[in-house]
Structure 1
Amino acid sequence: MIYLLVIILLFLAELIYFRIADKYNIIDKPNERSSHTQITLRGGGIIYWVAALLYVLFNPSENGWWFLLGITLMAGVSFWDDIKSLGQKTRLLFHLMAMTCAFYLANLFGIYPWWVVVMGYVVFIGIVNAYNFMDGINGITGLYTLAVLLPMMYVNNYIQTFTDNDFLVFPLLASVVFLFFNFRKRAKCFAGDVGSVSIAFWVVTLLLLLIIKTQNLVWIGFLLVYGVDSVCTILHRIYLKQNIMEAHRLHFYQILANERGMQHRLVSIIYFTVQLVCSSLIVTLYPIMGWWIFVILTATLVAAYGLKFRLMKISVIKNDFKTNNI
C-alpha cells in the first residue's frame, strides 16, 4: 500500500513540476549536438529528489538525512545549472560535498587510508558525471537505472543484505514514473542534469554500500555498459584532441541514434538488456570464475564498441554519396 501511495505522490509531483517548468520556460532547445529535434520540458528527473525526500520521510534515520543532504546538494546545483549554466568549479565543489555525505553514511572515513578516500572521490564523482553524459535519448536513463537497481535488489535479498529494501524500491518506482513521461516517441520531458545527476548519486551510494559490505569491487560491473562506453569515448575524444568536458555526439548510443537513425527507444532497450545480461552473468558466474567473468565481459563490450568506428565510416560514405549526387 505504501508503494502505491509513493507512485501517486510521484505522479502528482511530476505533473506539478510540468506546470512550473512551462510557466518559467524551463525547456531543452535542440542544437547541432542534440539527439532530439523538438523543444521539450527539461528537469523532469527532479522526481528522483522527490523520491529521496519521500524515502526519508517514510524511513527516518540519521543515515537517511545524510543521504537527503547529499542528493539535495547534487540536485540543487544541477537544477541551477539546468536553468543558468554554471562553471565547472562550482559543480565540482557541490559534488565533493555531496560525496562527502555519501562517504559519511557509508562509514568510509576513519576506516580506509586517505589515498583510498581520494580515489573514491575521483571514481564515484566520475561515475556521476558519466551517468549524466549518457543521458541523451528517450528512455536511456530510466531504463538503465532499472537495469542497475534490479540486480542490486536481487543481491540485497538473496546474496548479501547491504541496505534496507526501500532504499532500492523508491528510486525504482521513480524510474517507472519518469519512464511513463519520457519513454515515448516524443518525450513529455527530459531528465535534465537534475535528474540524471540525482539518480547517479543514488546509484553510487548504493554501490558504495554494497562494495563496503562485501569488501568486493566486482559489483562495479553493474555499471559496465555505461563504463565501457564512457571510458572508450573519452579515449576517442582525447585521440581527436577534443575537450572532453564539452558536449558531443560520439557515444556509441549517439552514433546508433543519430548517425544510423535507430529509434531512440530501441537503443535504450538494447543498453538496458545488455547491462541486465552482464549483471546477471556477474552474479551467477563470479563465484565460479572469479574476476575472469568481469574481464571477459569488459573485453566483449570493448570489442562491440569498436563497431562504432565502422558505423561512423559507413555514415560518412553515405553522406558523401548524397552530397555528390545533389
Structure 2
Amino acid sequence: MLILLELAYFRVADRFNIIDKPNLRSSHKTIVLRGGGIVFLFAAWLYAAFFGLTYPWFIIGLSLVGLISFIDDIHSLPDSVRLVVQFTAIFLMFYQFGILNLQDWWMVLIALIVCVGIINAYNFMDGINGITGGYSIAVLVPLIYLNGIYDFISQPFLYTVGISLMVFCFFNFRKKAKCFAGDVGSISIAFILLFALGLLILKTQDFSYIVFLAVYGADTILTICHRIQLHENLGEAHRKHAYQIMANELKIPHTTVSSSYMAIQLLISAGLIYLPINHYLYLGIIIVALTTAYLLFMKKNYHLHEEYLKSKLLQS
C-alpha cells in the first residue's frame, strides 16, 4: 500500500510541478520530484487505520507538522508560521508523553525548544541522495532492538515506519534519485523518531540514548557554530555541512557519503548498547570524538568550499 501511495504521489507531484530545481547551494544538478517523504506520513496514518489510534495526540501533531511542511514544499511559508505549528505539534507530543505539568513548566519549555531544534536540524541535514532515509534506518534499528527489551512503544508502529523508510530509500537511495524527501519527509521522520526516542528515554530514565542522533547532531551544531563565526545569516541556504563538502568538493558519491553516516551512527549506537561502560561517559567520549573528527575534516577540506564560492562569483 505504501508503494502504491508513493507512486500515486509521484503522479500528483509531476502533474502539479512539485519539483526541486538545482541552484548555487544545491548538491544536485537535475530537476527532481520533491516531497517523496510524504510516505512517512502515510505510514503513520496506515498504522492508525490498521492497528488503532494508539497515540492520538502524537498522530494529530505529526499530521499538523507534516501537512504544514508539505505546504511549505509547494509554496514557501514564513518562518513564524512553520515555527508556531512545530511548537504546537511538539506540545501535543509532550501531552501524549504525559509530562505536561505546571510545576515543571520551565523544563517543558526548554524541552520544547530543544525538540523543535532537533526536527529542524534533521531537515538541514537532508541535502544529498539517501542521507535522510539511510540515517533514519540507522536510528530506527536500535530502537526496534531495544523495544524488544523495554517495550516502550508499539512494535508494529516501528515496523510500519521501517517499511516506509525502505520504500522511500528505493526511490531516493541511488545515484539518480527519483524523488527527494522534501520538508514533509525530513520533518515528519524526525518527529516520528523523536517520539520513539522520547518514549525510550522516559521509560529508562536514561538521557544518554540521545547518542542515537549523535552524528547528525555533531554535523549540525558544529556547522551552525562555524557559520556564526563567519557572520553568516543562519536562515540562508548553504552547503557547508561536512557531508555536503564530501559530496560536492571531494566528489564522493552521495550514496557512499550517506552509507558512511549510516554506518558510523550504527556503530555508535551499538557501542552504547553493548559496551560495558557508563552511558554518560560513553556519550561524552562520542561528543569529543565527533567534534575532533569534524574540526580536523574542516581544517583539511574547507578551503575547497571557499574556492568553489570564489569560482561561482567570478562566473557571475
1:23-45 Cα offsets, whole Å, 9 max, x none, are 00000000000000000000000
Aligned to 1:305: 294
Q: Which residue among 157, 165, 180 is the counterpart of 2:148?
A: 157
2:58 equivalent to 1:67: yes
Shift in alpha-carbon separation, 1:54–1:318, aligned structure 2, 3 A: closer
Mapped contact 2:37–2:182 kept (Cα < 8 A) = yes
Q: Which amino acid aligns with 1:144?
A: Y
CA distance in 2, matches of 1:138, 1:115: 39
CA distance in 1, matches of 2:155, 2:94: 20
1:220 Cα deviation after fit? 0.5
1:71 Cα deviation after fit? 0.9
CA distance in 2, matches of 1:130, 1:290: 24
1:56 Cα deviation after fit? 0.7
CA distance in 2, matches of 1:43, 1:314: 31
1:282 Cα deviation after fit? 1.0
How large is the RMSD of aligned CA atoms in angstroms?
1.9
Mapped contact 2:41–2:63 kept (Cα < 8 A) = yes
Aligned to 1:189: 179
CA distance in 2, matches of 1:18, 1:200: 22
2:49 equivalent to 1:78: no
Q: Which residue among 242, 245, 251 is the counterpart of 1:261?
A: 251
1:246 Cα deviation after fit? 1.7
Equivalent pairs, count: 312
1:269-310 Cα offsets, whole Å, 9 max, x none, are 00000000010101123x533311111111111111111231
Aligned to 2:8: 16
2:207 equivalent to 1:209: no
1:110 Cα deviation after fit? 2.4
Mapped contact 1:74–1:94 kept (Cα < 8 A) = yes
CA distance in 2, matches of 1:22, 1:146: 27
Q: Which amino acid aligns with 1:270?
A: S
1:122-158 Cα offsets, whole Å, 9 max, x none, are 1111110000010000000000000000001111113
1:71-129 Cα offsets, whole Å, 9 max, x none, are 11111110110011001100001001111111111111128611110111011111100
Q: Which amino acid aligns with 1:292?
A: L
Q: Which amino acid aligns with 1:299?
A: V
Give me the identity figure in percent: 47
1:213 Cα deviation after fit? 1.1
Mapped contact 2:245–2:305 kept (Cα < 8 A) = no
Give 5+ residue unaligned stretches, structure 2.
312-316
Shift in alpha-carbon separation, 1:59–1:265, aligned structure 2, 3 A: same
Shift in alpha-carbon separation, 1:118–1:314, aligned structure 2, 3 A: same
Give the alignment of 1:1-326 within 5 angstroms.
9-61=1-53, 63-110=54-101, 113-158=104-149, 160-285=150-275, 288-306=277-295, 307-313=297-303
Mapped contact 1:260–1:315 kept (Cα < 8 A) = no
TM-score (norm 1): 0.92
Mapped contact 2:240–2:305 kept (Cα < 8 A) = no
Shift in alpha-carbon separation, 1:315–1:78, aligned structure 2, 3 A: closer
CA distance in 1, matches of 2:305, 2:110: 39
1:68 Cα deviation after fit? 1.6
More displaced, 253-262 or 302-311? Answer: 302-311
Aligned to 1:4: none
Mapped contact 1:45–1:191 kept (Cα < 8 A) = yes
Q: Which runs of 4+ in 1 moved over 3 A?
A: 314-321
CA distance in 2, matches of 1:213, 1:252: 34
TM-score (norm 2): 0.95
Secondary structure of 2:33's partner? strand
Give 5+ residue unaligned stretches, structure 1.
1-8, 322-326
CA distance in 1, matches of 2:145, 2:307: 46
